[in-house]
Amino acid sequence: MTYDNDNIFAKILRDELPCHRVYEDDKTLAFLDIMPRSDGHTLVIPKQPSRNFLDLDPQEFAPLLTTTQIIARAALQAFAADGVVLQQFNEAAAGQEVFHLHFHVLPRVEGVKLRPPGTMAENDVLADHAQRLRSALEKNT
């Protein structure tokens, strides 16, 4: 399988599509999922073109996992979560829908079920969640 330079995350990286960015460095980008399964559902991607976990340059894993951990910690704080779920899928048979490597960071509150997949969130809700995450990140740096 080859990397598609026109996938939605590649377009986000090139600023061809908008997103609610919460964190960015020279190797990674974290932004809100527009169809969140929980409040604060964030996606963390490498800037290097990579279809999935199986083809990422091994030297790029440390920055990607570091950012994923940074976002998970901020999400716990920003959403008063009791835990956090990390999800990562490789190829369609495993549930991958966007073929650019990404981690889902889902803050979880005890007793609150995940929303069903496929429901778009209101832009003002996403903007609020992004601000809450950025505020938590600022407190921890």
The pLDDT, as a whole number, for residue 140 is 80
The pLDDT, as a whole number, for residue 117 is 92
Catalytic residue among 20, 102, 104, 129: 102
- The secondary structure of the chain in percent helix, strand, coil, rounded to multiples of 5, reads 35, 20, 50
The topology under which CATH files domain 8-139 is HIT family, subunit A (3.30.428)
User: What single letter denotes the amino acid at residue 15?
Assistant: D
Phi, psi (degrees; rounded to nearest 5) at 2: -115, 160
Q: What string of H, E and C letters represents the secondary structure of 44-112?
A: EEECCCCCCCCCCCHHHHHHHHHHHHHHHHHHHHHCCCCEEEEECCCCHHHCCCCCCCCEEEEEECCCC
Greatest alpha-carbon pair distance for the chain in Å reads: 41
Residues contacting 111, CB < 8 A, separation 6+: none
pTM, entire model: 0.97
100 part of the active site: no
Residues of the chain with confidence (pLDDT) below 50 = none
